[in-house]
Structure 1
Amino acid sequence: MSSTNTLGDAFDLAFTSLKGVGNRDDYVYRAALTQKIALGRHSLRTATVLNELRAGKSKADLVILNGTATAYEIKSERDSLSRLEGQLADYRSVFASTCVVTSPMQADQVLSLVPEDVGVLVLSSRFRLQILREAIDSPDRIQPLQLLSTLRVDEALQVLELLEVEFESVPNTQRWSTLQEIFINLDPASVHKASVQVLKVSRSQTHMASVLQQLPATLRASVLAAKLPLKAQQNVVKAVSQPLEAVLSWSEEQRVSPVL
């Protein structure tokens, strides 16, 4: 690289070597989903992207909320499929739509393991997401009590308000148990739809849209997942635009924490 290249160019070059088939780890797949679906097919003005969202005993790698909730489980060529069955059972109890994103070398095995309603995507050698099987959107399949566990108390109360379900005032120590008693009897499709509406607002990332546009595509997934305060986001934008010569002259402290 020449002295005219920026820190962002260096990240792009590093990512090019990381995305070769056989070397790809979780972040390469997460970057592909972020670039091509979250910010490509959708946008932060119409959809919300949640990273590592708990569902039952598992955590979905990526969840995209638009008109529905779709969970994406990443199984890179470095990952074992031994936990996949249990993970998908958890996701299908919380999200209306579930997909597995995997490598070409694992695609056939994944197809043979997952339920018919689970979508399967392959990240090709050309860094393209190819659909092997479309996911079936089934909000009536979810379990309201499991979905409740992904919500904060204030979000759960907003869901009940949308559904016009009365919640009597109780001491704070009894709120969660009372919510559980209510949610277990709710209609799955209705509570799922209301939860998506609430989460799209309560966890909206619309404010990050302009920042992400100023970053190299290879870093957007990382910054989106990091939940940085506005000042730190601006510092990242400034840092990646710096010439490499300037970056190499930074002090050790600046290199370790350039966003602070």
Structure 2
Amino acid sequence: MSYKYLAKLFTSAEISRIASGDMTNLKEILTELPELAQLDTLADVYESSYKLLCKHYPNEYVIKNTIANKILLGTHSMNTASMLSELRIGDNKADCVIINGISTCYEIKTQYDSLKRLPEQLATYTKSFDKTYVVTHDNHLDALIEYQSQYPQFGIIHANNKGNLSIKIEAPINMNFNTEMMFHSLRKEEYTQIAKDVLGFIPNVPPAELFSECQKIFCSLSSNEANSYFKATLKHFRKNDHEFINLLPKSMKNLGISYKIHKKDKERLISSCLHNSVHTKGDTYVLPILSR
């Protein structure tokens, strides 16, 4: 069995199946990999599967999960920082953004990725966040160092197959923000809140004009003011579910950050991780941990 197939365990679709009690794909994988077949709990299966992916197939999930463990939970605290996944900026989606006192974008380029779109992506991210890093493996490192020497607005982080990250080139602090681009990343509840914070009230305009009016207010701010509102608003409205993430094993931290999971499914997933045997037939969920 290919490790690419094993990586499906960490997809949103598979997590939804497992949370609903469907262990079909999981059990099929267990029969194909002898090193996993004797494991009993869901947490043990995921921890061991993750170690195999780190060594043999370090895909984007692995890198995001490393960032979650090493930076969000290791360097910062979920009490003061939020991690956003696939944040739309312009025509691109930033792989990972952590907002603490500053906003830091992490664009991931694994050994399975191309660098073809990177110039366009960096041109967007370096005008939207305080710092931008490209996180990469050995095969892209030399090309990125060469590109960074010509376009020094970003930094480089090296990821190895042992789950470690090391800064090769420190990212500079951005001083040139594109406020219009930043505004278009905001949802309605977010840009109306900013307008209210600036004016003291939400603009009294017809619904069809609210977007353009809020955009006008945001873009009239200085770039530093706009950046401060941008960070504070994203951090507030898209904060992570601390309780859920804290209960997940290390291998599953990113799924608690990156995937939209219904509250009931979160409870079932935690119960399965801590108490259920993956070899049990049918649904045997115990009292949900989050409800105790």
Residue in 2 aligned with 1:231? 264
Q: Which amino acid aligns with 2:170?
A: E
Shift of 1:49: 1.0
Equivalenced residues, count: 247
SS at match of 2:211: helix
Assess if the C-alpha contact under 8 Å between 1:163 and 1:194 holds in 2: no
Counterpart-to-counterpart distance in 2, 1:42 and 1:238? 27
Assess if the C-alpha contact under 8 Å between 2:156 and 2:167 holds in 1: yes
Counterpart-to-counterpart distance in 1, 2:238 and 2:248? 21
Residue in 1 aligned with 2:190? 155
Deviations 1:154-187 (A, max 9, x none): 3113223444588641101011122233333321
Assess if the C-alpha contact under 8 Å between 1:50 and 1:62 holds in 2: yes
Residue in 1 aligned with 2:30? none
Residue in 2 aligned with 1:222? 255
Residue in 2 aligned with 1:188? 223
Shift of 1:198: 1.8
Q: Which amino acid aligns with 1:125?
A: N
Counterpart-to-counterpart distance in 2, 1:167 and 1:242? 48
CA separation of 1:168/1:242 partners in 2, compared to 1, >3 Å: closer, same or farther?
closer
User: What TM-score do you get using the length of structure 2 for normalisation?
Assistant: 0.78
Q: Does the alignment pair 1:119 with 2:150?
A: no
Shift of 1:17: 1.2
Assess if the C-alpha contact under 8 Å between 2:39 and 2:45 holds in 1: no
Give ranges in structure 1 of 5+ residues lacking alignment.
Answer: 255-260
Assess if the C-alpha contact under 8 Å between 1:56 and 1:149 holds in 2: yes
Aligned pair partner of 1:179 in 188, 202, 214: 214
Assess if the C-alpha contact under 8 Å between 2:40 and 2:278 holds in 1: no
Assess if the C-alpha contact under 8 Å between 2:195 and 2:214 holds in 1: no
Which stretch shifts more, 146-155 or 158-167?
158-167
Residue in 2 aligned with 1:133? 169
Q: Which amino acid aligns with 2:141?
A: A
Aligned pair partner of 1:80 in 114, 137, 141: 114
Q: Does the alignment pair 1:6 with 2:41?
A: yes
Q: Which amino acid aligns with 2:79?
A: R
Correspondence list, 1:83-122, <5 A: 83-114=117-148, 115-122=151-158
CA RMSD of aligned residues (A): 2.2
Residue in 1 aligned with 2:281? 250
Assess if the C-alpha contact under 8 Å between 2:203 and 2:210 holds in 1: no
Deviations 1:125-163 (A, max 9, x none): 32210000111222x311111110111223113223444
Which stretch shifts more, 147-156 or 26-35?
147-156
Assess if the C-alpha contact under 8 Å between 2:141 and 2:158 holds in 1: yes
User: What TM-score do you get using the length of structure 1 for normalisation?
Assistant: 0.87
CA separation of 1:150/1:7 partners in 2, compared to 1, >3 Å: closer, same or farther?
same
SS at match of 2:278: helix
Q: Which amino acid aligns with 1:27?
A: Y
Assess if the C-alpha contact under 8 Å between 2:82 and 2:238 holds in 1: yes
Give ranges in structure 2 of 5+ residues lacking alignment.
Answer: 1-35, 285-292
Q: Which amino acid aligns with 1:153?
A: K
